Chains A and B, each alone.
Chain A
Amino acid sequence: MALVELEGVSKTYRQGKLEVPALRGVDLEIEAGEFTAIVGPSGSGKTTLLNLIGCLDVPTAGIVRLAGRELSRLDRNALADIRREKIGFIFQSFNLIPVLTAKENVEFALALLRRNGAGQVHGEQVTELLAEVGLAGLENRRPGELSGGQQQRVAIARALVKAPAIVLADEPTANLDSENGRAILELMRAMNERRGTTFVFSTHDPMVMEYSRRIVTLQDGRVVADERREPDAAPHPARCS
């Protein structure tokens, strides 16, 4: 059983009387441990697809299954529980909580997970993780005091800290310069390899493709190509800069 299964998924947005089809009958399976890029022109439905997988949205038609559970059967609270336990998000615009420090942002995700008295947040564990994404010594900075690349590293740590089944990253490098973008991608792939975490990310950055083992191409809400390949370059270990 694949980790993510989409069967004939369609999503149509309503804008007043206008119907905007964002996805039209997408079938897709993603296995655990995959490192998958979703590519396609602007408006092709990448974000919509990630939102459906991430339980942030529900399809107009078709079935989305995550680890075998059909999402359309679940209510809002159950969807929230799945996001909390199984899904990590990384956003194009980072979306850290501005009043919390880097460390606290990471702890926040963990606190939600362990809210039901599952134990104390391990401060050490968080610090280690931050060091692993290259933020040693910056734990107590607020997002406003960090560069874009650093903020995205915090976001990655926040996504990874709860050991999610899948990390969804919507254009994680779009707001970064190419050097920082590259570093983030390398970090993600390193994490994918080291921890076996499943990554699905969208991009229209050709550079991203170098790092991907599987590239799903969308056009007008349809999957027009799905190719598996060996990445161009041998994966570098994540640089701790």
Chain B
Amino acid sequence: MPLLIRLAVRNLWRNRRRTILTFGAVALGIVYLILVDSLLRGLTQSSIDNLLDFESGDLQIHAPGYFDEREDLPLEPALPVDRLINEVRAVAGVRAAAPRLVAPARLHAGWEEFPVVLVGIEPELDSGTLRIMDYVEGRAPENGAAEAMIGASLAELLEIGTGDWVVLTTRTRDGAIQALDVRVTGLVRTPNPNVNRNHVYLPLNTLGESLAVPGEATVIVVRAGAGESLKELARRVGEHLAAAGTAADVYTWEQSNAELVALIRTETVSDGLVIAIILAISLVGIANTTLLSALERRREIGTMKALGMREGEIVGLFLLEAVATGLLAVGTGFAVGAAANAYLVAVGMDISAFFGDLDVGYPVTGVVYGVWHPQTFVLAGAAGLVTCALAAYLPARRAARQDAAATLRP
């Protein structure tokens, strides 16, 4: 081992406790970065999965003009289901498609009422498209029957169970108040809290007739085959429908859910914030260590200068020590981070501990799983090392510039 490296290593060893504190802070920062990033990515991934699997699908087809009004959930303009559904399913790259009729409503319970979203579904088609049907406690409502399944959180809040009757009020296409007396046949308990809190599912034909829009859907949700480019598929579906003489607009989930997409983007910013915090910790830790050891080793530095070491070489020696600390920290950070992340990936973390039932805008409940993202390791490692070197530079240069004659005086 070259003498300089040996010297650096022994100097670190000489101040074991300080070295461990410093390297511990940096390593902790790296572990933290790896885990926070992993959880945020996991959160994003689950959010997108939950959104796509339980609410929006990959693509949404609306009647022209619907999209801009979609916040209000209007019944018009709507799509004729029979004419469209088979056309859509015929497009290459479409794995599944299902019609849905979505309307705002109020669910009445005693003297209280709660805003809910009514979703008319065709159970057969819906179960191949979205995954609501896999999460029903009880059974799905039958076509034509005055039956509904409701989100489990909503049911628990209102103390409603399977077999109970509930009243829903909404508006028909003509704006008249409609009241629906329906029997609850099932509770929907999905990983998507929006669905559990807000959604009430009725058979498409029951709802369509009650709202004076029989045979119509406000949206047809589409699932793409594996590996399909959604933009490309949206274009193909649009062209196919146009060729078939049906006016319809096709959107990707990203277009339909700009809010979530924006939220995910903010997350990237907060990721940057975490990095900045870690860098700050490392910066302070390493700068402090270098400063202290430079102070302690004034005489030693003077000796080295007398022996003919250039100032730059002395700075280099300190940088070597800082980078060695950094390497140690990065190594430890990687090891601990990888182990902890393996746990997060396998077992996950219950985020309700942090957020409770608070709606933070992510369609996620309960356990969030970590993901593996090698770039984060690279980024964390590089950030750690660069910070260590940067932090050591100024104190080292100050120490190296000291007047050797003065420091060597007995």
Q: Which residues of A contact B (CB under 8 A)?
A: 47, 51, 54, 56-57, 76-77, 80-85, 87, 89, 91-93, 95-100, 104, 107-109, 111-113, 121, 158, 170-171, 174
A80 is contacted by which of B7, B311, B408 (Cβ under 8 Å)? Answer: B311
Kindly list chain A residues whose C-beta atoms are within 8 Å of the C-beta of B303: 89, 91, 95-97
Which of A76, A104, A112 is the one whose CB lies under 8 Å from B307? A112
Chain B contacts with A in 257-305, Cβ cutoff 8 A: 299-300, 302-305
Within 209-236 of B, Cβ neighbours of A (below 8 Å) are at none
Residues of A within 8 A of B299 (CB): 95
Task: Evaluate whether A89 and B306 lie within 8 angstroms (CB atoms) in the complex, with A56-B404, A97-B7, A99-B10 already known.
Answer: yes
Q: A56-B408, A95-B408 are in contact. Are A80 and B6 (CB under 8 A)?
A: no
Seen from chain B, the residues whose Cβ lies within 8 Å of a Cβ on chain A are: 3-4, 6-7, 10-11, 13-14, 299-300, 302-312, 403-405, 408-410
Interchain CA distance A93-B11 in the complex, whole Å: 20
Residue of chain A at shortest CB distance from B312: A77
B-chain residues with CB within 8 Å of residue A93 when the two chains form the complex: 410
CB pair B307 A84 closer than 8 Å: yes
* A88 and B299 alpha carbons, distance in the complex (Å): 17
Residue on A nearest B308 in the bound complex, by CB: A84
Q: Is the CB of B11 within 8 A of A113?
A: no
Q: How far is the CA of A124 from the CA of B169 in the complex (A)?
A: 98
Decide: A89 and B307 in contact? CB cutoff 8 A.
yes
Please pick, from A47, A84, A104, A170, the residue contacting B309 in the complex, using a CB distance under 8 A: A84
The distance in angstroms between the C-alpha atoms of A89 and B311, with both chains bound, is 18
Q: Are A81 and B3 touching (Cβ within 8 A)?
A: no
In the complex where A83-B308, A104-B3, A112-B308 touch, is A51 in contact with B300 (Cβ < 8 A)?
Answer: no
CA distance in complex: A121, B6 (Å): 15
A-B contact number at CB 8 A:
81
**Inter-subunit contact A98/B300 (CB<8 Å):** yes
Q: Contacts of B312 on A, CB cut-off 8 Å?
A: 77
CB-CB under 8 A for A47 and B308, given A99-B11, A104-B6 = no
In the bound complex, what is the Cα–Cα distance between A85 and B307 (angstroms)?
Answer: 9
Interface contact B11-A109, CB-CB below 8 Å? no
Are B307 and A109 neighbours in the complex by a CB distance under 8 Å? yes
Name the B residues within 8 Å of A77 (CB-CB). Answer: 310-312
Set B300, B311, B408: member contacting A97, Cβ < 8 A: B300
Whether A54 contacts B306 by the Cβ 8 Å rule is yes
B residues near A89, Cβ cutoff 8 Å: 303, 306-307
> What are the residues of chain A within 8 A of B6 when measuring CB–CB?
100, 104
B306 touches A81 (CB 8 A): no
Whole-angstrom CA separation of A170 from B408 in the bound complex: 11
Q: How far is the CB of A74 from chain B (nearest CB, A)?
A: 13
Q: Which residue of A lies closest to B299 (CB)?
A: A95
Q: Give 17 CB contacts A-B under 8 Å.
A: A51-B405, A56-B408, A77-B312, A82-B308, A83-B307, A89-B303, A91-B408, A93-B410, A98-B300, A99-B14, A104-B3, A104-B6, A112-B307, A112-B308, A112-B309, A113-B308, A171-B410
Q: In angstroms, how far is the closest chain A Cβ from the Cβ of B343? A: 39
Closest residue of B by beta carbon distance from A51: B405
* Nearest A residue (CB) for B311: A76
Residue of A nearest to B306 (CB): A89
- 10 residue pairs, one from A and one from B, having the closest CB atoms: A84-B308, A99-B10, A83-B308, A95-B303, A57-B405, A56-B405, A51-B405, A80-B310, A89-B306, A111-B3
Q: Are A107 and B3 in contact (CB under 8 A)?
A: yes
Residues of chain A with a CB closer than 8 A to B11's CB: 99
List residues of chain A with CB within 8 A of the CB of B404.
56
The residue of chain B having its C-beta at the shortest distance from the C-beta of A47 within the complex is: B409
Residues of B within 8 A of A97 (CB): 7, 300, 303-304
In Å, the complex CA distance between A15 and B48 comes to: 71
Partner of B306, one of A56, A100, A113: A56
A-chain residues with CB within 8 Å of residue B310 when the two chains form the complex: 76-77, 80-81
Chain A residues, CB < 8 A from B410: 91-93, 170-171, 174
Q: Report the separation of the CA atoms of residues A82 and B304 in the bound assembly, to the nearest whole angstrom.
A: 13
Report the nearest B residue to A58, measured CB to CB. Answer: B405
Question: In the complex, are the beta carbons of B3 and A80 less than 8 A apart?
Answer: no
CA distance A91 to B307 in the complex (A): 12
Q: Report the nearest B residue to A170, measured CB to CB.
A: B410
Is the pair B7, A100 in contact by a Cβ cutoff of 8 Å?
yes
CB-based nearest A residue for B410: A92
Task: Tell me the nearest residue of chain B to A96, going by C-beta.
Answer: B303
Residue of B nearest to A100 (CB): B7
By a CB distance below 8 angstroms, the chain A residues around B405 are 51, 56-57
Question: 18 extra interchain contacts, Cβ-Cβ under 8 A, other than A83-B305, A97-B7?
Answer: A51-B405, A80-B309, A81-B308, A81-B310, A82-B308, A91-B408, A93-B410, A97-B304, A98-B300, A99-B14, A100-B6, A107-B3, A111-B3, A112-B308, A112-B309, A113-B308, A121-B3, A170-B410
- Name the residue of chain B whose CB is nearest to the CB of A77: B310
What separation, in Å, do the CA atoms of A107 and B408 have in the docked complex?
21
Bound: A82/B3 CA distance, A? 21
Instruction: Select from chain A the residue with minimum beta-carbon distance to B300.
Output: A97
Across the interface, which residues of B come within 8 angstroms of A95, CB to CB? 299-300, 302-303, 306, 408
Q: A168: shortest Cβ distance to chain B, in Å? A: 9
**B305, A80: Cβ atoms closer than 8 Å:** yes
Shortest beta-carbon distance, A76 to chain B, in Å?
6
A83 to chain B: which residues have CB within 8 Å?
305-308
Q: How far is the CA of A96 from the CA of B307 in the complex (A)?
A: 11
Q: Tell me how far the C-beta of B307 lies from the nearest C-beta in chain A, rounded to whole angstroms.
A: 5
Q: Give Cα A108 to B305, complex, Å.
A: 12
Contact (Cβ within 8 A) A80 B10? no
Smallest distance from the beta carbon of B391 to chain A beta carbons, Å? 22
B316 CB to closest chain A CB (Å) equals 11
A81–B410 alpha-carbon span in the complex (Å)? 24
The CA-CA distance from A70 to B368 in the complex, in Å, is 73
Q: Name the residue on B nearest A97 (C-beta).
A: B300
Which residue of chain B has its CB nearest to the CB of A159? B307
Q: Provide the bound-state CA to CA distance between A76 and B11, in Å.
A: 26
Bound Cα distance from A82 to B7, whole angstroms: 23
